[in-house]
């Protein structure tokens, strides 16, 4: 599994976002794993609202920003989506970035890390439905960070110690599925 590449996709672009600290923690927890984990921050990949004239499922990307984004995500075998919960769903920035591609997501694995008032649980559930349409196999274990208990004053990320072993379970599940699905591609 040492050749597996997993992208940790930070799904918030808001100024002052809590997600950067969460994504950095995920990356710290992934150190020493048999797969290579790389952070992709959507703030570094500004995309307009989906502006491709042909549905992404056709694979006929016209815009350079789409081609660049597709090339960024294509090499990975799996993904950890770090998502805030906004209005009972994921962020518009993450949903938009996901919608820009199709085949690049197919037959890969995903795990989810949510944060928000209810740990981002509703955002994760929406992402699970989206993943099914994109032929992404997601794993059971997820992480949920609650603003009232895992963030001091709702802003400084201070996760409880119980999250670290759950993260290791999530990584193990993700790596197994990513490895198995790699044989399909």
First to last CA, the chain: 15
Query: pLDDT tens digits for 105-132?
Result: 999 999 999 999 999 999 999 999 999 9
The total of other beta-carbon atoms located within 10 Å of residue 124's CB is 24
- Specify whether the CB–CB gap between 142 and 7 falls below 8 A: no
| pLDDT exceeds cutoff 90 at 1 | no
Give the structural domain span for 170: 5-182
| pLDDT exceeds cutoff 70 at 166 | yes
Q: What is the pLDDT of residue 2?
A: 65
Query: pLDDT tens digits for 47-84?
Result: 999 999 999 999 999 999 999 999 999 999 999 999 99
Break the chain down into helix, strand, coil percent, rounded to 5: 40, 20, 40
- Number of domains making up the chain: 1
Q: What is the CATH number of the domain that holds 77?
A: 3.40.50.360
């Amino acid at each position: 599994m040492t050749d597996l590449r997993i992208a940790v996709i930070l799904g918030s672009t808001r100024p002052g976002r809590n997600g950067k600290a969460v994504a950095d923690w995920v990356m710290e927890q992934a150190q020493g794993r048999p797969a290579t984990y790389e952070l992709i921050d959507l703030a570094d990949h500004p995309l307009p609202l989906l502006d491709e004239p042909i549905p992404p499922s056709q694979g006929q990307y016209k815009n350079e920003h789409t081609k660049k984004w597709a090339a960024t995500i294509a090499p990975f075998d799996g993904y950890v989506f770090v998502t805030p919960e906004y209005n009972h769903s994921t962020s518009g920035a993450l949903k938009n970035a996901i919608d820009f591609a199709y085949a690049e997501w197919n037959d890969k694995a995903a795990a989810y890390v949510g944060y928000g008032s209810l740990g981002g649980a509703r955002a994760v559930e929406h992402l699970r439905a989206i993943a099914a349409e994109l032929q992404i196999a997601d794993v059971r274990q997820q992480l949920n960070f609650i603003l009232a208990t895992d963030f001091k004053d709702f802003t400084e990320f201070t996760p409880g110690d119980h999250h670290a072993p759950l993260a290791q379970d999530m990584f193990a599940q993700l790596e197994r599925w990513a490895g198995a699905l790699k044989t399909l591609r």
